[in-house]
Amino acid sequence: MAAVPECRFTHRPRQARPAHLKYPLRPDHQEDAVAATTAQPTGAKPRRHIAVIPCRWGASRFPGKPLAVLGDKPLLWHVHQRCLEAKRLDGAVVATDDERIEAACRRLGIECIRTGEHLTGTDRVAEVAERLPAEAYINVQGDEPFISPTAIDDISEALEYKPPGTLAVNAYAELHDPGAVLDHNVVKVVVSAQSKALLFSRQPIPYPKGDRPKYLRQLGLYGFTGPALQHFLQLQQGPLERAEGVEMLRFVEHGHAVHMVPVLDDGVAVDTPEDLTRAERLFNQYGGAVLTRGAAGRSPADEEGAVTYSGDVEVIRSMVR
């Protein structure tokens, strides 16, 4: 068997653990162990479709989020479990640039690849694609513990039948809750009659001036081939992606097709500590069983602080009742 290459990193002082991180970290001498990659030996048969879960520590709204605890396990564990429950995948791997996340994966028996620092999760997935051969890669966001395994399979299947010229497939679901429509942490998408993404935004789009619109939520669930990911790396971030912080806008701004796939998943993404509290309520409500379809929406109290078009809150709220 070929030797596993080393991945060295500079020692950093042990950092204080935020209060929401109940999950224990390893002692310093274990955290600082040399990180082993999971790249396959030369000549190994490429996998078919694999899930890649990009995880980083330094989220501005929720530092340390991947290791925040839901039930008795960190968020990333729940996402990994959903990927393992999908029927069309040949495995799931966490991709991170943080030794604390890597150490947790080791302890939990989760396959993990240590990457460099990247602008977005898709950039991180692209590095994994360079090191882990597969026919296609499913980017599953590490903050969606209730993601439906069936939705993951839907994206895998869509990759096999994607229209010519399509570089990515992306899942979406209809929004029915006004709080979610108004929440800037929920990315909305407008889809063409040919199922192509026209625009992504954190604002409520389309604007309800005339007909009653249907609001669609972009899920953090994307599918790519290896060549498409390499093309993604070659593209510059455009003004829309930089403004909105939505990486699929990179393809849209450069005129490339993103095929949108409807799935039955209402998802509860954990973007903030408040979202984690909401996820805990759902988790406890179902006796610790992970809810992966028809997740309950946000309460009226959850609408506070949402970014909206000034003066349009009631109009938008009436559109989704």
- CB neighbour list of residue 13: distance below 8 Å, 6 or more residues apart: none
Fold of 20-319: Spore Coat Polysaccharide Biosynthesis Protein SpsA; Chain A (3.90.550)
CB–CB of 90/131 below 8 Å? no
Percent of the chain at pLDDT above 70? Answer: 74
User: Which pLDDT score, from 0 to 100, does residue 123 have?
Assistant: 95
Which residue stretches of the chain are H helix? 28-31, 75-85, 99-108, 121-131, 149-160, 178-182, 226-234, 239-244, 249-253, 273-285, 313-319
SS3 (DSSP) at 35: strand
- Residues 126-145 pLDDT 10s: 999 999 999 999 999 999 99
Give me the pLDDT at residue 101, please: 96
Percentage of the chain beyond pLDDT 90 is: 65
Please report, for the chain, the start and end positions of each structural domain, with discontinuous segments joined by +.
20-319
Confidence at residue 266, expressed as pLDDT on a 0 to 100 scale: 67
Q: What is the pLDDT of the chain when averaged over all its residues? A: 81
Q: Give residue-wise pLDDT tens across range 278-298.
A: 999 988 887 666 655 433 333
Beta bridge partners of 47: 134
What local confidence, expressed as pLDDT, does residue 155 receive? 97
Q: What is the pLDDT of residues 86-103, one digit of tens each?
A: 999 999 999 999 999 999
Q: Cβ neighbours of residue 274 under 8 Å, at least 6 residues apart?
A: 302
Token pair listed for 17: 């653990």
List Cβ neighbours of 237 (8 Å cut-off, separation of 6 or more).
119, 250
Q: What secondary structure, in 3-state letters, does 218-249 show?
A: EEEEEEECHHHHHHHHHCCCCHHHHHHCCCCH
**H or E element in which residue 168 lies:** strand 166-174
Which one-letter amino acid corresponds to residue 321? R
Condensed to tens digits (0 to 9), the pLDDT of residues 7-66 reads 333 333 334 444 444 443 333 333 333 333 444 444 556 689 999 999 999 877 899 999
pLDDT band at 268 (very low <50, low <70, confident <90, very high): confident
Output the pTM of the full model: 0.77
Average pLDDT over residues 222-251: 97
pLDDT mean over 224-241: 96
How many C-beta atoms lie closer than 10 Å to residue 4's C-beta? 11
Best-predicted range by mean pLDDT (219-223, 287-291, 302-306):
219-223
Report the SS3 class of residue 65.
helix
Distance CA 158, CA 153 (A): 8
Q: Which residue would you say has higher pLDDT here, 152 or 16? A: 152
